[in-house]
Amino acid sequence: MLRACSAFERDTWIRTVSFLLLGSICYALPWSVFAALPIPSDNSSVLRIQGSNTIGARLGPALVKGLFEDQGLSAIHLEAGAAENEQIVVANSREGQRVSIAVAAHGSGTGFIALGDGSADLAASSRPIKDSEASSLLPLGDLKSPAAEQIIALDGLAIILHPSNPLAALTTAQLAQVFAGEITDWSQLGASAGGITLYARDDKSGTFDTFKELVLSANGKALAATAKRFESSEKLSDAVSQDPNGIGFIGLPYIRQAKAVAIAAGDSQPMLPSLTLIATEDYPLSRRLFLYNQPDMNNPWARALVQFAHSPRGQAIVEQSGFIAQTVQAVKIPSQAHMPANYQELAENAQRLSVNFRFQEGSASLDNKALRDLNRLKSYLREQNKLHNKVVLVGFGDAKADPARAELLSKLRAMAVRRELNKEGIIFRDILGLGDELPVAANSADEGRIKNRRVEVWVY
């Protein structure tokens, strides 16, 4: 039931700048969740964002617009920046002052460079920060810490073809061979004969980094020199949709007129880049979208934008922008013959939630996304009255020489999540460990093993 927020709740919201800590939903009131932010008198940009084209082309400006609206600013509009793929979001304060935030979208790598040299306050990235980048930025603090690494949305790399191409599914191994130039004709994949034309993002792109890591490097391949390269996601997608022999990879919102194919990794089933499979990060080419900041941010606009992106309204903007929000939802999963018996029972009688818990590499500790997802899950279970005997946690892992050990480790992962949720008084219906059943990625590489080590949440 909706209710007006008390003065105490309003003060709490302002102090924490976070919607995620409230246990109930309050209806909109005519005040901003954020205290009024300072505006420089010299009309300089209050915030500078540099990095991913995937974020900067659409999502970044949309989040900035939402923050401006929250601040009560007016006449919000976009202006062209100094170069291609640069935008300035502009608004007016109540006193008539110009307020602007600059968004440059030249690739994820450029964001970390700009953060390091001080020319940006936030780095937008469509891949996790690399160890080498984190090391070089250590003077700013630990950029892998929960205070610095902000997962603001989920996305999936879609493998796109011309709409007339009859091919329905590919494995990541086949993709690697195609983009390495080892498979050069569609007839080698069971489609009509014709030379394959490759379309790829540029080297500065986080989209390319993700594809290189999940597909090329994972299979010991490198991108063929014949691939046509693009800085713009839209232009790449449009080129593939006009080329009957074309194949490319792109972020989910940029499929446009092209056709997406289902992808399988290792022993996983072929999966289309659906909203649910990306939300749970089960889709083989799913990925996270990030904002990175100094752990001790001095810029109040940077702090406000980060917290706004995490808020329910910010996540609604994520969804409106064509990406996958981190809002918890219940989804009915069809029971299938290849599922273990106790998992089939869940599919027949319960619903799966659109959140998976994953762990830091080589650790039993939850990763940064999982730490925030704990709060999202607590709020969902409280709002849906499912705190007692309604929840089942299902742990999974990668293959071990001893199947019993794989099952034990998977159950221990589920129990680690249970411990955190027990602190909120949540009582569970059951805790299951299914070992290496139902893999969502290949176990031949670290990235795949990390994806397979997961905990699902089901509700009755």
List, for residues 25-74, the tens digit of each pLDDT value: 333 333 344 568 999 988 899 999 999 998 999 999 999 999 999 999 99
Does the domain at 155-276 match CATH 3.40.50.720? Answer given as no
Asked if pLDDT for residue 148 goes beyond 50, the answer is yes
Q: Which two tokens stand for residue 339?
A: 């599922």
Do the Cβ atoms of 159 and 285 come closer than 8 Å?
Answer: yes
Asked if pLDDT for residue 8 goes beyond 80, the answer is no
Q: Which two tokens stand for residue 246?
A: 């074309």
Cα 365 to chain center, whole Å? 20
Terminus-to-terminus CA distance in the chain, angstroms?
21
Cα 271 to chain center, whole Å? 17
Residue ranges of domains in the chain: 7-150+288-320, 155-276, 328-459
Q: What are the Cα distances from residue 146, in Å, to 2, 16, 291, 435?
A: 31, 15, 11, 28
Lowest mean pLDDT among 91-100, 113-122, 360-369, 422-431: 360-369
Class of domain 7-150+288-320: alpha beta
The predicted pLDDT at position 438 comes to 93
Say yes or no: do domains 7-150+288-320 and 155-276 share a fold: yes
Q: Rounded mean pLDDT of 414-424?
A: 94
The predicted pLDDT at position 364 comes to 79
Global pTM reads 0.81
Class of domain 328-459: alpha beta
Q: Rounded mean pLDDT of 445-460?
A: 90
The predicted pLDDT at position 23 comes to 33
Q: What are the Cα distances from residue 186, in Å, to 189, 193, 211?
A: 5, 5, 21
Q: Rounded mean pLDDT of 365-379?
A: 95
Asked if pLDDT for residue 204 goes beyond 90, the answer is no
Q: Going by C-beta distance under 8 Å and a sequence separation of 6 or more, which residues neighbour residue 124?
A: 49, 50, 51, 52, 55, 56, 60, 103, 105, 108, 111, 289, 290, 291
Query: What confidence tier does 3 reach under pLDDT thresholds 50, 70, 90?
Result: very low
The predicted pLDDT at position 34 comes to 54
Lowest mean pLDDT among 9-13, 151-155, 233-237: 9-13
